[in-house]
Each structure stands twice: as C-alpha cells, then as structure tokens.
Amino acid sequence: MASTEHSTAATSEMDEEKEAPPPQDLTLGWVRDALIRQEDSIVFALIERARFPYNAPAYDPCLLPQQGGRSLVEAFARGAEVLQAKFGRYQNPEEVSFFPDDLPAPSGIPYNFPEVFHPASASVTANNAIWNMYFNDLLPLFTVEGDDGNYTSTAAADLVCLQALSRRIHYGKYVAEVKFRDAPQDYMTAICAKDRDALMKLLTFEAVEEMVKRRVLKKAMVFGQTVTLEDKTFDDETKYKVDPAVVARLYDEWVIPLTKDIEVEYLLRRLD
C-alpha cells in the first residue's frame, strides 16, 4: 500500500487520538484527549442503539431456554467476546472483558502492547457495575418501547455501547497512573492509610466535571440532530435521536462516578 494512497486530511486528528503510548510518554494531556475522543464514540453508539426499540425479548432469559438462563444479549456478548479474544482484542490493556473467565488465549498474533499499569492495579474492573447500570438504568431512558424483532442487531449495538463505556470508564486507570507519577507524594499518605474518601477528594474537580457534562450534552445535540441541507439552529423544537439530557445524566450519575471509583481502586493498589 503506497503511502500516498492514504488519507492525510485526518492526520492531525489522529495524532491526538493515537492508541496507548509507551509508559514514559504517558501524559495527562494525552489521556484527556483520548477521553474527549471517546465521548464521540459513546454518543455515536447510543444513537445507533436507539435505531431499534427496546426489544424486551432480547433481555428475557426465557427466550432461549437452551442458553441455561442467559438472555440472548448475554449469550451473544459472551460469544462475541470469545471470538474477539481469539483474535487478540484483550491483549490491549484498554479493553476489559465483561466475561473474562471463559476467554481463549489469542493464537499466533504477535502483540506488543506496552505495560502501562502498575501490575497490582492492572486488573481493577467495574464491568459488572457497567453491565448492570446499562441494562437496568440507562437502556430504558434512551430507547422507545416496542419490539421490531431485530434482537441480534440490538445485541450487537448494545455490545458496542458497553465496550465504549467500559473503555471510557477504565481509562480511569490511565488517569490514576499519570496523576500518581506526576505527584506521588500527593497520594502516598491516603494510599498508605487506605483512605478512600481522601483519594476521592484528591481526584475530584467539580469544574472539570461540569465542563465534561456540558460538552457531552452538546455532542448529543450535534451528532443526534437530523442534518438537512438547509441551515438551522438548535431550539426547543429540535428532535434528537437520543435525548441530550440523558447523555449528560449518563456522565453525571454513572460514567464520572464509576471512573473515579476505578481511579481510587487503582491507587489503593498502586504501592503493592
């Protein structure tokens, strides 16, 4: 593939969005750019899931009795994770499995992802909480009632949402690692005292959190509008594919708190 054939227009964007750099390059600016880019992925994923109605049978453990009490969505997600693990998805420390106990080792692919995380902290996960939050709390807020029969496409869209949310929330490990490296002395006392509240306080910046919530609200408006050739402005009559207030609430109630939980749990193991 000759280099001239490749896109150059996107180069400067991609520079901001490159995947995990070696540990010595890890900076808060890099982590922040990655988190901002992932907001787009989450909003896109929610909009694509909202193409389908709720589709309750996909979540009913009685739909497929041969799956032993697993809903179609769970059986599909487990199968998809097995397939993706086989080809190496979870070799990248950014990707965290929802069902890690059943995964095969990747075969024959030479992966060289750098070890960024402190070994004792690397396995911190919030995926059970993310799974439950997504299906119990979030999904009914941004889908309409109904059943159009597209259960597999629905399950695939759910998995894309879950993976985007999981990647975003587990980026808390990068945040914690880079903050610790930048100023270990700020965190040592609280880590040694196992003082979760003190760590949470050190990691909380309300002004930043407010900005993030306003930005994801705006992204939901921009990406979820119906684009036409006519110019138009946003007003109270504008219909969005996903309610922007739900996306802001997703960040307020779940993404930001779960990310901080990951940061705290990561730091508590950072000196082990």
Q: Which residues, 124 to 153, sit near a copy of itself by CB under 8 A?
A: 140-146, 148-153
DSSP 11-54: HHHHHHT-----GGG--HHHHHHHHHHHHHHHHHHHHHHTTS--
Q: Which residues, 1 to 60, sit near a copy of itself by CB under 8 A?
A: 1, 3, 5-14, 17-19, 37, 40-41, 44, 47-48, 50-54, 56
Residue with Cβ nearer a copy of itself (122 or 222) = 222
Nearest to 182 by CA among 267, 92, 268, 272: 267
User: Stretches 102-110, 170-178, 199-207, 260-268: which one binds a copy of itself (CB under 8 A)?
Assistant: 102-110
Cα–Cα distance list, 164 to 45, 68, 131 (Å): 8, 28, 12
Cα–Cα distance list, 16 to 44, 155, 212, 238 (Å): 19, 31, 18, 32
Residue 95 makes contact with a copy of itself by CB under 8 A: yes
Pattern 251-270, a copy of itself, x by CB under 8 A: --------------------
Give least dist CB 258 to a copy of itself, A: 21
Q: Which residues, 205 to 224, sit near a copy of itself by CB under 8 A?
A: 211, 214-215, 218-219, 222-223
Residue 87 makes contact with a copy of itself by CB under 8 A: yes
Give least dist CB 266 to a copy of itself, A: 22
Give least dist CB 85 to a copy of itself, A: 8
Task: Retrieve residue 75's tokens.
Answer: 């059986």
The amino acid present at 106, given as its one-letter code, is P
Half-sphere exposure at residue 28, Cβ-oriented, CA atoms within 13 angstroms: 7
User: Stretches 103-111, 176-184, 248-256, 257-265: which one binds a copy of itself (CB under 8 A)?
Assistant: 103-111
Residue 192 makes contact with a copy of itself by CB under 8 A: no
Task: Retrieve residue 204's tokens.
Answer: 């909380």
Among residues 24, 66, 185, 233, which is the contact residue for a copy of itself, using CB under 8 A?
Answer: 66
Residue with Cβ nearer a copy of itself (60 or 186) = 60
DSSP 39-101: HHHHHHHHHHHTTS---GGGG-TTS-GGGTT--HHHHHHHHHHHHHHHTTGGGSTT---SSGG
8 Å CB contact between 75 and 151: no
Number of Cβ atoms within 10 Å of the Cβ of 18: 11
Among residues 30, 32, 70, 84, which is the contact residue for a copy of itself, using CB under 8 A?
Answer: 84
Applying CB under 8 A, the site for a copy of itself has a residue count of: 86
Give least dist CB 175 to a copy of itself, A: 19
Q: Cα–Cα distance between 41 and 57 in angstroms, integer?
A: 26
The amino acid present at 33, given as its one-letter code, is D
Residue with Cβ nearer a copy of itself (47 or 267) = 47
User: Stretches 88-96, 116-124, 182-190, 255-263: which one binds a copy of itself (CB under 8 A)?
Assistant: 88-96
